[in-house]
Structure 1
């Protein structure tokens, strides 16, 4: 008798392709830009908003010391880096550790319309907000229509 393959089928209380599905999910989370560890660094999630004035980028960096946050623009690439350190003796006293610690870094290629010399960074309530203003020549211009006659 032939049976149809069902990846969600349970056998003996366990999914048939459990480990495969976890790996598959992890692969697509990485492609979709979700957070993930790469070596010793961690890429935190970012939200990007566009307005007439330019772009705003917001990144969650809870528990980071603002003094450790470094933002730089070099050759059209915006990069921020920060490090969140574990509490002293955390591993010795912990029963469970789920929060991430280590170096957090992320880079973005800036569009030609951004004025890289005017980038501003603000850290408030665990959120890093980067303001990327438009170049004057890339801002929309309103052209007056002259009426003759």
Structure 2
């Protein structure tokens, strides 16, 4: 028996024969970004981190909530390509450190990216995103045919 690595986004994912290719493309972009940064002499921060995400489902929609404390709304970008939702951005470090002697720095700064494969039942043209108090909430409405229906039982 083989152990399968737990993937927190798996609940939202459906089988996609092209999913492997979108993951490979994502890895290629990450590799290109890191390699380009090295060639430019480290202008871009290589630090990558992944914000925590909660994914929930109701009768009408899926909801993805990402914790992004210290990140500006303007530093976050959400894209959708081939049923893959990508949230990427950057948490910038303070540039002004005059008079500060840090004894410990535990917060992570730099770029982040999270990707989610969407089920075919999501109405991609109705996706909504809101940013409040450091939490990004993305609402993914379901198509009518995906919503549960109550079927009345008739007596003969």
Q: TM-score, normalized by length of structure 2?
A: 0.65
Query: 5+ unaligned residues in a row in structure 2: which ranges?
Result: 9-29, 31-45
Partner of 1:79: 86
Aligned to 1:100: 108
**Deviation >6 Å, runs of 4+:** none
> C-alpha separation between the residues in 2 aligned to 1:44 and 1:77?
17
Matches within 5 A, 1:13-24: none
Q: Is the 8 A contact 2:127 2:138 kept in 1?
A: yes
- 1:25 aligned residue: none
Give 5+ residue unaligned stretches, structure 1: 1-30
Alignment map for 1:1-149 (pairs within 5 Å):
40-90=47-97, 93-95=100-102, 96-148=104-156
Larger radius of gyration: 1
Tell me how far 1:143 sits from its aligned partner.
Answer: 3.0
The alignment yields a C-alpha RMSD, in angstroms, of 2.4
Q: 1: CA distance between counterparts of 2:7 and 2:100?
A: 34
Task: Count residues with an aligned counterpart.
Answer: 115
Q: TM-score, normalised by structure 1?
A: 0.68
Indicate conservation of the 8 Å contact 1:33/1:45, yes or no. Answer: no
Q: Distance in 1 between matches of 2:87 and 2:79?
A: 6
Relative contact order, higher structure (CA 8 A, sep 6+): 2
Distance of aligned partners of 1:108 and 1:90 in 2 relative to their CA distance in 1, 3 Å threshold: farther
Q: Secondary structure at the match of 1:129?
A: strand
